């Protein structure tokens, strides 16, 4: 009897332990291993950081060469004072790992197409396997390997990366399992050692985010239903109201490089009809962009330049940026860093400040490959059968299975789409992708040099090797120079080259030459007293090279207008400008809408909304209803104008930009696309304005019922955890702004760092991140800046000498580092 009881109890105990030791599926996701997760000594409780945590430490680590002190200020920003550069980068790696380990590994796993390995093939509506395949086939790992070669062939870059990697691994190797970041415990996996390839993968992820977009398939499909003239109208090269980065009227030298279109372009390219089914699309956000500007001393109250930058990326937790100061005998820089990469990315040093915005140019093209047979061993190139090589990409899935992608490599690049790719095209054609991020360039060295730049020449030298993603590098120095250059490796293209999918049977459509770097759009100390960029087309039509991309029109316009009208500028004025909610797009479009609506044909309630729009102050502040009414009407109008023509095909197409529509209607109210081609009647602009307003009204009425008519509620900004767990996110923030607005805060996207640097003798700087310094959701430093950020406020950045750090009231903790 006893033995039976023993066996039963033992079985129950073991069963209980087993159940608590596995991940149990619950609908769309899985629980953590509950036993380990709940254990106070092993589980998530260990990540609950005491509110009064003492960050003081005395660390003796193998791999350091000398001594260093790190002072943490009250916001947990580290100020690193190291004896030598090696130790500075080692410590940067160590601190990134200490505060952001899970994030830095997760982002590089995503870039490497390894999400299925930790999240499973599918979870809810997310198909991680499809995302992994897409990244592998796009050649993300291939590109990272190419850049690794370039980086490791430069001894300085290699030493920097090696020191950084050693620092990350020094932290990981000493990390007990019970101290793993929370997300490892939630998902039940372990961190792996860091390496230099991971840093390159992270930079490729940024390339994907900022220079990974294209519309080549959609544009190719557009050729089926639109004439060449229509395409020029729908996708114009230069907008009427463009206010470019290089001021209009600036004379450009003649092109140093000329390329001519292939003789077959008319028959094989421009006029060929082709239809391409939707590929798997995981498109980076179109509004990944940024603002930056620098005003010269002539326009400031102090006489010293002021540089401002606010890069717009996905609003995520842990924050994409990590703030720090790094000081060695060779340089002293402050700014934001990318966990996963050495150096300060955006910031300032003792002599100058720098910032970036995205160039938004098209650096990704597709070529149709003609394989000899389905084995893809040979493809036609220049009249011969050329051998393909293959890249075997193995995707490990969490359940233990493996998915193998054999990717054919051609002279153009990896064959992203073919009959083996699950999202293959209906027509079974094969397309190779040529992407600037596949090139062997060492982007990290640019930031290494910027951190040490003393003057304009150093700045130009630092950025000259930067390849991808192309950026508008902004510069201002204490000596008074303000400058901007759009830098990247940009292909010299013939007109519309790469706008559509290109023939890949010979070399005639290939990328032939790069635009010489000194011909990249540049503006140095212009007469108007400031330089600026906001992802607009950088030059007007007189620039001697063809340029395609995905540009914003309006932010640049309002920034330049405001800066032109300002004088005796102070940093406070710049804070106000950076967080400004004025909607210049609505300023352009509203008169057009109001002029064309006949309000006698509206009901009383409809007219109330129209009045609200008419009396709106054009600001996208949280409590305004005007922006919601405007947005709903413009959306509805776009649908009314385009949907009839664009529904002629089931194939994916690209809708024209909002600005294109408004400019076309301003130019000509009889714009041909206004007519609904599905009705026999010829519609006029007033008719579709009325129709679209009535449709918008229905939506607005519903929003009002849900208490969501006010812009802040309608837009509903949130900063989301990378795993999209609401409990670890900060949602429903009261913040205005939006698309085409200087305060470019949308629902899930916006200014991830706002920085203002006043280049007085003793630098005065302000900044803020929508997040916190810690990546640990159990720390009070995880999201402590967000409310302040939403209010449009800033922190004063402490740019301290070593002696000042020792005695500063605001430095709260000290870590000493020395070699073991």
Partner 1 sequence: MKFIAALIVTALLSFAGSLFFPWWIIAVAAFIVSVFIHQKALLAFITGFLALFLLWGIQSFYIDYTNDHLLATKIANVLPLGGNYILLIFITALVGGLVGGMAALTGSFTRLSSNQSREIL
3-class DSSP assignment, residue 638: helix
- Nearest approach in angstroms of CB 100 to partner 1 is 17
Report in angstroms how near the CB of residue 627 gets to partner 1 at its nearest.
Answer: 31
Cα of first residue to Cα of last residue in the chain, in angstroms, is: 61
Distances (CA, A) of 768 to 99, 349, 372, 620, 799: 18, 18, 56, 21, 14
One character per residue 766-795, x = contact with partner 1 (rule: CB under 8 A): -----------xxxx---------------
Which range in 16-24, 257-265, 295-303, 599-607 contacts partner 1 by CB under 8 A?
16-24
Does 124 bind partner 1 (CB under 8 A)? Our answer is: no
Coil, helix or strand at residue 466: coil
Minimum gap (Å) between residue 721 Cβ and partner 1: 10
The Cα diameter of the chain in Å comes to 100
The tokens describing 455, both together, are 């003057």
CB of residue 19 to partner 1, shortest distance in Å: 10
Comparison of 46 and 588: residue with beta carbon closer to partner 1 = 46
Indicate which single residue of 104, 186, 265, 768 sits in contact with partner 1 (rule: CB under 8 A). 186
Identified binder of partner 1 from the candidate list 24, 25, 28, 38, rule CB under 8 A: 38
Q: Is 602 in the site for partner 1 (CB under 8 A)?
A: no
How far is 338 from 92, CA to CA, in rounded Å? 10
Q: Does 2 bind partner 1 (CB under 8 A)?
A: yes
Cβ proximity of 797 and 348 under 8 Å: no
Q: Which is nearer to partner 1, 38 or 281 (CB)?
A: 38
Residues 469-528 that bind partner 1 (CB under 8 A): none
Minimal distance in Å, beta carbon 131 to partner 1? 23
Kindly indicate which of the ranges 30-38, 77-85, 369-377, 704-712 contains the residues binding partner 1, using the contact rule CB under 8 A.
Answer: 30-38
Q: Which residues pair with 82 in a beta bridge?
A: 68
Q: Quick one: 15 or 394, whose CB is closer to partner 1?
A: 15
- Residue placing its CB nearer to partner 1 in the complex, 181 or 656: 181
Sort strands 717-721 and 316-317 into parallel, antiparallel or unpaired: parallel
The residue from 23, 31, 808, 810 that contacts partner 1 (CB under 8 A) is 31
Q: Hey, what are 532's tokens?
A: 């600026």
- Shortest distance in whole angstroms from residue 706 CB to partner 1: 23
Residue 735 CB, shortest distance to partner 1, in Å, is 22
Q: Are strands 306-314 and 754-758 parallel, antiparallel or unpaired?
A: antiparallel
Nearer to partner 1, 15 or 159 (CB): 15
Q: Does 188 bind partner 1 (CB under 8 A)?
A: no
Nearer to partner 1, 50 or 229 (CB): 50
Residue 39 vs 423, nearer CB to partner 1: 39
Residue 26 C-beta: closest distance to partner 1, Å: 10
Comparing CB distances to partner 1, the nearer of 47 and 497 is 47
744 CB-near residues (< 8 Å, 6+ apart): 287, 289, 291, 310, 312, 555, 737, 738, 750, 751
175 binds partner 1 (CB under 8 A): no
Asked whether the beta carbons of 776 and 181 are under 8 A apart, the reply is yes
Q: Parallel, antiparallel, or unpaired: how do β-strands 430-435 and 364-369 relate?
A: antiparallel
Assign 3-class secondary structure to 481-543: CEEEEEECCCECCCCCCCCCCEECCCHHHCCCCECCHHHCCEEECCCCCEEEECCCCCCCCCC
540: which 2 tokens?
């007007």
In the bound complex, what is the minimum distance in angstroms from residue 668's beta carbon to partner 1? 54
Minimal distance, residue 783 CB to partner 1, in Å: 10
Let me know how long the chain is: 820
Q: What is the number of H-type helices and E-type strands within the chain? A: 23, 33
Closest to partner 1 by CB, 154 vs 178, is 178
Report CA-CA distances (Å) from 741 to 14, 482, 550, 813. Answer: 60, 24, 17, 39
Cβ proximity to partner 1: between 46 and 532 the closer is 46
Which helix (H) or strand (E) segment holds residue 334: the answer is: strand 331-337
Beta bridge partners of 438: none
Distance between CA 250 and CA 639 in Å, rounded? 38
Q: Which is nearer to partner 1, 51 or 404 (CB)?
A: 51
Taking a C-beta distance cutoff of 8 angstroms, is the pair 88, 80 a contact?
yes
Q: How far apart are CA 522 and CA 617, in angstroms?
A: 36
The CB-of-776 to partner 1 minimum distance in angstroms stands at 8
Nearer Cβ to partner 1 (544/718): 718
**Within positions 39 to 68, which residues make up the interface with partner 1, using CB under 8 A?**
39-52
Sign of torsion over alpha carbons 708, 709, 715, 718? negative
Nearest to 813 by CA among 70, 49, 96: 70
318 binds partner 1 (CB under 8 A): no
Q: Coil, helix or strand for 58?
A: strand
Q: What contacts 208, CB < 8 A, 6 or more positions away?
A: 111, 135, 138, 140, 284, 437
- CB of residue 55 to partner 1, shortest distance in Å: 15
725 belongs to the binding site for partner 1 (CB under 8 A):
yes
Is 6 a residue that touches partner 1 (CB under 8 A)?
yes
Residue 664 tokens, joined: 């076309």
Asked if residue 731 binds partner 1 (CB under 8 A), the reply is no
Stretch of 112-120, 150-158, 621-629, 719-727 lying at the interface with partner 1 (CB under 8 A) = 719-727
Nearer to partner 1, 29 or 810 (CB): 29
Number of residues that bind partner 1 (CB under 8 A): 41
Work out how close the CB of 122 gets to partner 1 at its nearest, in angstroms, rounded to a whole number. Answer: 20
* Residue 36 binds partner 1, judged by CB under 8 A: yes
The site for partner 1 (CB under 8 A) is made up of 2-3, 5-6, 9-10, 12-13, 16-17, 20-21, 31, 34-36, 38-52, 182, 186, 725-728, 777-780
């Amino acid at each position: 009897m006893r033995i039976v009881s023993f066996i039963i109890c033992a079985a129950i105990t073991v069963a209980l332990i087993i159940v608590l030791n596995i991940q149990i599926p619950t609908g769309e996701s899985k629980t953590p291993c509950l036993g380990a997760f709940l254990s106070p000594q092993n589980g998530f409780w260990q990540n609950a950081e005491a509110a009064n945590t003492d960050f003081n430490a005395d660390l003796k680590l193998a791999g350091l060469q000398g001594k260093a002190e790190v002072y943490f200020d009250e916001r947990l920003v580290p100020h690193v004072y190291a004896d030598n550069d090696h130790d500075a980068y080692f410590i940067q790696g160590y601190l990134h790992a200490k505060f952001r380990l899970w994030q830095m590994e997760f982002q590089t796993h995503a870039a490497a197409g390894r999400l299925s390995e930790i999240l499973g093939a599918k979870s809810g509506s997310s198909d991680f396997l499809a995302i992994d395949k897409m990244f592998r086939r796009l050649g993300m790992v291939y590109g990272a390997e190419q850049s690794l070669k370039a980086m490791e062939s430069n001894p300085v870059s290699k030493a920097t990366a090696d020191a950084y990697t050693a620092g990350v691994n020094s932290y990981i190797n000493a990390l007990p399992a019970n101290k793993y970041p929370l997300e490892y415990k939630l998902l039940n996996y372990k961190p792996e050692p860091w390496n230099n390839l991971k840093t390159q993968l992270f930079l490729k992820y940024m390339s994907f985010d900022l220079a990974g977009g294209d519309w080549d398939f959609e544009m190719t499909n557009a050729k089926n239903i639109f004439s060449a003239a229509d395409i020029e109208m729908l996708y114009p090269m230069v907008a009427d109201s463009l206010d470019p980065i290089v001021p209009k009227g600036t004379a450009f030298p003649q092109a140093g490089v000329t390329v001519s279109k292939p003789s077959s372009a008319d028959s094989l390219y421009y006029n060929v009809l082709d239809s391409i089914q939707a590929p798997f699309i995981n498109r980076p956000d179109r509004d990944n962009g940024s603002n930056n500007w620098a005003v010269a001393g002539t326009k400031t109250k102090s006489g010293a330049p002021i540089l401002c930058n606010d890069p717009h990326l996905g609003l995520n937790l842990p924050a994409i940026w990590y703030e720090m100061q790094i000081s060695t005998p060779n340089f002293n820089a402050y700014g934001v860093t990318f966990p996963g990469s050495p150096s300060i990315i955006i910031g300032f040093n003792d002599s100058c400040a720098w910032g970036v915005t995205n160039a938004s140019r098209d650096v990704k093209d597709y070529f149709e490959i003609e394989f000899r047979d389905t084995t893809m061993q040979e493809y036609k190139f220049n009249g011969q059968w050329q051998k393909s090589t293959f890249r075997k990409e193995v995707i490990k899935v969490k359940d233990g299975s493996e998915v193998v992608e054999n990717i054919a490599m051609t002279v153009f690049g990896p064959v992203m789409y073919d009959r083996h790719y699950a999202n293959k095209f209906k027509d079974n054609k094969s397309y190779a992708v040529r992407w600037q991020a596949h090139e062997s360039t060492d982007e990290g060295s640019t930031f290494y040099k910027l951190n040490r730049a003393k003057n304009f020449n150093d700045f130009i030298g630092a950025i000259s090797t930067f390849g991808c993603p192309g950026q508008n590098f902004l510069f201002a120095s204490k000596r008074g120079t303000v400058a901007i250059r759009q830098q990247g490796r940009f292909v010299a293209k013939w007109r519309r080259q790469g706008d559509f999918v290109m023939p890949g049977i010979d070399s005639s459509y290939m990328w032939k030459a790069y635009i010489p770097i000194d011909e990249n759009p540049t503006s140095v100390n212009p007469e108007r007293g400031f330089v600026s960029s906001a992802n607009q087309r950088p030059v007007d039509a007189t620039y001697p090279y063809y340029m395609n991309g995905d540009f914003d029109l309006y932010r640049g316009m309002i920034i330049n207008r405001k800066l032109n009208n300002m004088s005796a500028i102070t940093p406070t004025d710049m804070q106000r400008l950076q967080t400004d909610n004025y909607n210049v797009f609505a300023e352009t479009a509203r008169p057009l809408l109001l002029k064309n609506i006949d309000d006698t044909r509206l009901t009383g309630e409809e007219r109330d909304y129209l009045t609200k729009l008419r009396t709106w102050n054009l600001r996208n502040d949280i409590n305004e209803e005007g922006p919601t009414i405007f947005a709903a009407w413009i959306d509805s109008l776009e649908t009314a104008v385009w949907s009839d023509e664009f529904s002629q095909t089931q194939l994916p197409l690209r809708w024209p930009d909002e600005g294109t529509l408004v400019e076309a209607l301003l130019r000509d109210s009889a714009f041909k696309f206004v007519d609904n081609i599905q009705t026999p009647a010829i519609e006029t602009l007033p008719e579709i304005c009325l129709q679209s307003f009535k449709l918008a009204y229905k939506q607005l009425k519903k929003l009002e019922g849900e208490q969501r008519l006010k812009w802040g509620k309608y837009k509903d900004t949130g900063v989301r955890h990378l795993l999209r767990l609401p409990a670890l996110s900060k949602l429903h923030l009261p913040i205005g702004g939006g698309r085409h607005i200087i305060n470019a805060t949308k629902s899930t996207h916006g200014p991830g760092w706002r920085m203002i640097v006043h280049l007085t003798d003793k630098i005065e700087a302000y900044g803020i991140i929508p997040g916190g310094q810690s990546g640990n959701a159990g720390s009070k430093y995880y999201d402590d800046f967000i409310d302040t950020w939403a209010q449009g406020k800033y922190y004063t950045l402490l740019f301290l000498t070593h002696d000042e750090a020792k005695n500063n009231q605001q430095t709260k903790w000290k870590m000493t580092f020395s070699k073991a």
